[in-house]
Chain A
Amino acid sequence: MIVLETKNINKHFHNPIDFHVLKDITLSIDQGEFVSIMGKSGCGKSTLLYILSTMDTDYTGELHLAGKIVSGRPQQELAVIRNEHIGFVFQFHYLLPEFSVIDNVMLPARKLGKKSYKEIKQDAYDKLELLGIKEQADKKASMLSGGQKQRVSIARALINDPAIIMGDEPTGNLDSKNSENVFNIFKDLSSQQNLSLLIVTHDQDFANKTDRIIEMEDGKIIV
């Protein structure tokens, strides 16, 4: 079953001059597939990921998520789609520094509002346990180390049991041991929970271990 699909996505930047950054991007990702995106710096990987995650709507072409067309929908609806179906992990962990770890993880689920506060809290503990940082739950997010923060943000991405997780160099800031750690977590999620993953990386070893590598060059997919 296809989770995410694009048809002929094109994007231009107009400032300072017209720049065709993405050219005819057509790709699809199956359920449970672990895919990595590689390519030279500046080839448009992040730009593509922002479009796929529905945060950027300034493009032409079609984007389908879980069988439904997403392109052209209003912002309000896109926010709901992001909340429910997409987990995003950034290179810089991006937690709310004043909130506790557990509150950070709970936020998207509380926004979704499908479960009670107690159930959400239990889910959040379970996700933190899965990532081996349950004992940090009540600390303030700003107190954690970089690797710990990255794991918290993965837990947050998982909280609503999304259809797909996207990551923009999620291991870019981690040492090889932590990087390995995160890879194993991703691998388990895809094989055991049948979760789809789309991860941008510069790490050849990391990419080699994934199911499929998408190579990009100058805004085009070459493999």
Chain B
Amino acid sequence: MTNYKVIFDITRTHLQTRLKQTSVAALGVTFGIGTFIIMMGFMTGLNGLLDGLVLNRTPHIHIYNEIKPTDDQPIELDEAFAGNFNIIHNVKPKESLVRIHNALPLIAELQKDKRVKGVTSQAIARVFYVAGSIQLNGIVNGIDVMDEIKLFNFGDYIVEGSGESLLKRTNGILLGAGIAKKMSLDLGDKINVSSVNGGVFPLKIVGIYQSGLAEVDNTQSFVNVKTAQQLLGEGSNYISDINVKLNNMDLAPEMAKELTKSFDLTATDIQTANAQFETGTSIRNLITYAVSITLLIVAGFGIYNILNMLIYEKMNDIAILKATGFSGSDVKKIFISQAVIIGFIGGMLGLILGFVGSVIIDHTPFNTEALPTIKTYPINFNPLFYIVGITFAMISTFLAGYLPARKAEKIDPVEIIRGQ
């Protein structure tokens, strides 16, 4: 039978009369949990940002026609040479169109597929940008701008003007920021684009596109798909690239294989294209967890030490309590509850510290060329971190208190009284 009210009163008196040590122990936990929350929020926020940078605008499956030598050379197909070991020198790809054959039926097919969230098609043209005497070579992507905005957050990368304005002007262009800078062009200016087969098209700049990747921004611009087809001198069924977004990204590799096989096209999935990216994310997560757990363990040792000291100081009290009828388990409860209270108060303050720290970071300006849409440091306010934080605080302080409390439980009062 335990009278918890007495146990709690004793606990409270012990904590109150050692306010300084108690506070130091609690602050250790506060610091550990606070840092955990801030680190998790910041690191996963950063991960999310980087994911967004690459993953949000990367199609889950990219379908195109790769120029490469045919796998089955004619000699392999001729029965007369079957079984021979044929060596062919200087294999060259056959001249072939970049266009995707029967693109429109393929798109229709993909859109019917239940796994597919959306499909965008592009016509890509190699061009020269001409302004005055300067010529820069580059790439013009013919896109359906609304689809791109909807599926690949295209709108986030238009730093001036707007993506939608492309709809109103058939001869509009969203110019890469690097090109605009090099050629001293601005919103509303005209630019001439000359295609590989000689035609020159005057286009009006209705927006500036900045991806944050200099390589892209220095070469790439976007126009309506029709405009690109005209640049290429092709009809409205000319499509060079199809981008697919799936409902579940994990299905991409399997589906890409399927497409490659049944349509004789090249289909690459996002996992293959960005393998190194995933590794980066998981390593960052690993580091975050390792550092946070180390901090919490250090805080746990702090509590362990302080309770150990407290128990040595309180030997006489423990002996008296036992002599007057408190059982070993009562004494154990007294010390465990001290640890748990320290853990709870320290942990709660830690959550507050973590939250306040996160809010401050969230409001700290962070401007970088590379990330045009980001104005402040990214922070992830996932409630899960707060739940994990307080749970870990409670568990670790319980364990830190448990060992010293067990020692208190086992103290023999006779030994203490005799020792007086």
Residues of A contacting B: mostly: helix
Q: Is B17 an interface residue (CB 8 A)?
A: yes
Query: Please, which residue of chain A has its CB at the minimum distance from the CB of B16?
Result: A98
* Chain B positions 1-34 with a Cβ under 8 Å from a chain A Cβ: 1, 3, 5-6, 9-10, 13-14, 17
Residue B371 at the chain A interface, CB threshold 8 Å? no
Among A55, A80, A92, contact of B322 (Cβ-Cβ < 8 Å)? A55
Is B364 interfacial (CB 8 A cutoff)?
no
> Does A76 reach chain B (CB closer than 8 Å)?
yes
| Interface-facing stretch out of A108-116, A127-135, A185-193 | A108-116
Contact B329 A76 (CB under 8 A): yes
Most buried by A among B17, B324, B413, B420: B324
- Name the residue of chain A whose CB is nearest to the CB of B3: A113
One digit per residue, 1 when the CB lies within 8 angstroms of any chain A CB and 0 when it does not, for chain B 295-318 equals 000000000000000000000110
A206 contacts the other chain (Cβ, under 8 Å)? no
Q: Number of residues in B with C-beta < 8 Å to the partner?
A: 28
Task: Give complex CA distance A50, B414 in Å.
Answer: 7
Check B14–A79 contact: CB distance below 8 A: no
Q: Which residues of A contact B321 (CB under 8 A)?
A: 96, 107
Q: Is the CB of A108 within 8 A of B420?
A: no
A51: nearest residue on chain B (CB-CB)?
A: B414
Which residue of A55, A80, A103, A110 contacts B323 across the interface (Cβ within 8 Å)? A55
Return the contact of B317 from the options A76, A96, A111 (Cβ within 8 A).
Answer: A96
CB of B325 within 8 A of CB of A108, answer yes
**What string of 1s and 0s marks CB contacts (under 8 Å) between B320-352 and chain A?**
111111111110000000000000000000000
Interface range for A: 20 to 34
- A99, CB-defined interface residue at 8 Å: yes
Tell whether A107 pairs with B323 under 8 Å between CB atoms, given A55-B414, A113-B1.
no
Chain A: which residue is nearest B417 at the CB level?
Answer: A90
With CB as the reference atom, state the residue of chain B lying closest to A153: B320
Is B418 an interface residue, CB under 8 A from the partner? yes
A110–B324 CB distance below 8 A: no
Beta-carbon contact of B330 and A94 below 8 Å: no
Q: In the complex the two chains form, is A82's CB within 8 Å of B324's CB?
A: yes
A94 and B316 in contact, given A83-B324, A108-B325, A113-B3 (Cβ under 8 angstroms): yes
Give CA–CA (A84, B325) in the complex, Å.
8
Whether B328 contacts A98 by the Cβ 8 Å rule is no
Q: Which residues from A are CB-within-8-Å of B328?
A: 75-76, 79
- Chain B CB within 10 Å, residue with most, of A90, A96, A160: A96
| CB-CB under 8 A for A46 and B418, given A83-B324, A107-B324 | yes
- Please indicate the chain B residues that have their CB under 8 angstroms from the CB of A10 in the complex: none
**Please, which residues of chain B bring their CB within 8 A of the CB of A110?**
3, 5-6, 9
A103 to B326, CA, bound (A): 15
Q: How far is the CB of B2 from chain A (nearest CB, A)?
A: 9
> Using a CB–CB distance below 8 Å, which chain B residues touch chain A?
1, 3, 5-6, 9-10, 13-14, 17, 316-317, 319-330, 413-414, 417-418, 420
List the interface of chain A (C-beta within 8 A of B). 46, 50, 53, 55-56, 75-76, 79-80, 82-84, 88, 90-92, 94-96, 98-99, 103, 107-108, 110-113, 117, 156, 160
- 14 cross-chain CB contacts under 8 A: A50-B418, A79-B325, A83-B324, A83-B325, A88-B323, A88-B324, A94-B323, A96-B321, A98-B17, A107-B10, A107-B324, A110-B9, A111-B330, A156-B324
12 further contact pairs, Cβ within 8 A, besides A75-B327, A92-B420, A107-B10? A50-B414, A53-B323, A56-B414, A79-B322, A79-B327, A84-B325, A88-B324, A90-B417, A95-B320, A98-B17, A110-B9, A160-B325
